[in-house]
Amino acid sequence: MAAPMVKQEIIEGEVIESHEEEKEREHFARIINAFKCYKPFSLRRVDDAVKHFNALPQRHKDLVPNFLDHLTTIRECIEQNDSIIRLIIQDAEHIFENKQNMAKNGGDIKALVPLVSDLDKVKTTLKQFVRDWSEAGEHERKACYEPVIHEIEARFPKEFVDTSGVHILVPGAGLGRLAFELARRGYNCQGNEWSLFMLFSSNFVLNKCKSMDTHTLHPWVHQWTNNMTNEDQTEAITFPDIDTSTIPENVQFSMAAGDFLEVYQDPETWDCLATVFFIDTAHNIIAYIETIYKILKPGGYWVNLGPLLYHYSDMPNEMSIELSYDEVKRVIEQIGFVFEKEEKNVKSTYTQSLNSMLHYTYDSVFFVVKKPS
């Protein structure tokens, strides 16, 4: 599952084993179909709202005369979102060299019905554009990315280090903004991401968006509750908020597709790992910590910020080991890391609308640990 090399981004991956090809094709096609089904799936929700409104007594309808007009605006926002989605997936087959794979069982593949969870992930991905690539997400980036960048710059300062010789890995890179910011500062950087939703979208931003604020999304249009005003639900954002071509020519910047534990097995390869809201995506967080220690060079640093959501907790038929932070810290130290910095109760949010009446705030942990020389 590899992409052609480009200047700003490379999407790489392991060669699919023959006995896994069919499963991989089906997964790929299901994600593509989820993107394609975004519009009819979303409009069905609007149709339900119209039906419920029409069932009201006339005296109730008269009290909210603009309700149907608002639903019309929501339809227009969904149409706009869909136009961006079509751009995101239009060359996905070529990006991941799956065109041939997709064609092998074309009729069957196209009939694959996306899961409801897949359709929800499409909507989540739209909100990720806010966090990573819009001016509206600057407050989240300042809270979550800037502390990590600051610590890396402090330990690999441009004044004393050839930054182009420093190799940084960003697992769980999402849409790639943190990895991009590190590369923009002169560090060789690779982002790693497992989700095809994120990989398709990061490729679009990093390789296809050639100027600032050229595209418009309505990321909150599916947020039907806790709206102070109708306009909060239909608010537009533009992206990207930065020129994505501003990477020094001597810097290597790439994105690698695949499971972190499978892709990264070569020991003592990286000078630094930067993880934000990542370590709790593991089935077994101890395996993540072991791998991070293994692939870091002696004297290398691991910089982390995030809570412990444990994505697979209570998910049917999924293994999940949930440790408290005290236990995680003990494992980190027992494996061999030395803590250099630790901050608790770091206030951070994730794809939150500033105008919503409901906010989730995490008391995240921020730490810097070193692999002894």
pLDDT given for residue 22 in this prediction: 81
Tens digits of residue pLDDT in 29-70: 999 999 999 999 999 999 999 999 999 999 999 999 999 999
pLDDT given for residue 108 in this prediction: 54
pLDDT given for residue 18 in this prediction: 53
> If you classify domain 11-370 with CATH, what class do you get?
alpha beta
pLDDT given for residue 302 in this prediction: 99
- Residue type at 292 in one-letter notation: I
Domains of the chain, residue spans? 11-370
- Residue type at 235 in one-letter notation: E
Tens digits of residue pLDDT in 106-132: 445 556 788 899 999 999 999 999 999
Low pLDDT (below 70) residues in the chain? 1-19, 93-111
